């Protein structure tokens, strides 16, 4: 199975910028919002789409071992915005929320069960504070938040943070968020927001080719 990794953070916290140290031929990028990268250059293997079927086909079909879905949260948002006012109320609204949860859950399960085991797929998402005060990935609907618990489907959850001019990833939770990493994967609770370094660390830890 491939390894899904969740990167969450506020807008401007350095999620997309963390890709800056990958060479243009090292990374497969799925650009959900079709927005420019926040640094010079581009990646050879870039797909601009928010279609789940296209994304899953691309993840399986690419030769790239490292794949980033940026911003994965807008797969949910775009689906919601296209359909929330079309079908009316009642059962159609209930069906829409079920679709939002089903599609996103299926994508993560697809990565875990149908993709080659030497691939790592990073899902970049915005964060949100829930009713209990915990910082979690931003979704829409109770199905994903309460029934699925998105972060529970990942072994590795990093949180992009910014402190003045310093951008970094948190590797362990202090109780206020849901970030987590395996024992001894990272020595420090705060690391540079360098996804290339993170990718190399994960591959070494799990002995991926």
Average pLDDT for residues 175-194, to the nearest whole number? Answer: 97
pLDDT in tens, 2-47: 999 999 999 999 999 999 999 999 999 999 999 999 999 999 999 9
Helices and strands per DSSP (H, E), number in the chain: 5, 9
The pLDDT score that the predictor gives to residue 131 is 79
* Share of residues in the chain with pLDDT > 70 (%): 97
Own/partner long-range contacts of 161-165 (Cβ < 8 Å, ≥24 apart): 161/9, 161/13, 161/14, 161/190, 162/10, 162/12, 162/13, 162/14
Average pLDDT for residues 36-65, to the nearest whole number? Answer: 96
Average pLDDT for residues 73-92, to the nearest whole number? Answer: 80
pLDDT in tens, 156-172: 999 999 999 899 999 99
- Determine which of 12-26, 41-55, 110-124, 131-145 has the lowest per-residue pLDDT on average: 131-145
CB crowding 31-61: b at 16 or more within 10 Å, else e: bbeeeebeeeeebebebeebebeebbebbee
The two tokens of residue 92 are 């159609």
Residue 116 has pLDDT above 90, yes or no: yes
Average pLDDT for residues 77-86, to the nearest whole number? Answer: 86
3 state SS of 3? strand
The pLDDT score that the predictor gives to residue 59 is 98
The pLDDT score that the predictor gives to residue 166 is 94
Start-to-end CA span in the chain (Å) = 13
* Share of residues in the chain with pLDDT > 90 (%): 82
Superfamily in which the 3-206 domain is placed by CATH = P-loop containing nucleotide triphosphate hydrolases (3.40.50.300)
Question: Which pLDDT band holds residue 97 (cuts at 50, 70, 90)?
Answer: confident
Prior bond of 188 cis (ω within 30°): no
pTM assigned to the model: 0.94
DSSP letter for 131, please.
Answer: T
Query: Where are the chain's structural domains?
Result: 3-206
């Amino acid at each position: 199975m491939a390894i899904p990794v969740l990167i969450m953070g506020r807008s401007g916290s350095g999620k997309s910028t963390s890709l800056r140290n990958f060479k243009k031929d090292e990374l497969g990028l799925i650009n959900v919002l079709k927005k420019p990268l926040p640094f010079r250059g581009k990646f050879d293997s870039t797909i601009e789409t928010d279609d789940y079927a296209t994304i899953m086909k691309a993840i399986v079909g690419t030769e790239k071992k490292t794949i980033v879905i940026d911003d994965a949260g807008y797969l949910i948002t775009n689906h919601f915005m296209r359909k929330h006012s079309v079908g009316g109320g009642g059962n159609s609204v209930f069906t829409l929320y079920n679709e939002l949860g089903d599609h996103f859950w299926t994508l993560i399960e697809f990565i875990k069960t149908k993709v080659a085991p030497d691939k790592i797929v990073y899902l970049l998402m915005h964060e949100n504070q829930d009713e209990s005060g915990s910082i979690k990935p931003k979704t829409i609907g109770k199905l994903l938040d309460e029934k699925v618990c998105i972060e529970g489907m990942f072994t590795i959850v990093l949180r992009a943070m910014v402190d003045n001019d310093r951008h970094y990833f948190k590797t362990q939770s202090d109780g206020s968020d849901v970030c987590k990493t395996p024992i001894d994967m990272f020595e420090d609770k705060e690391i540079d927001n360098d996804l290339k370094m993170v990718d190399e660390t994960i591959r070494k830890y799990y002995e991926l080719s």
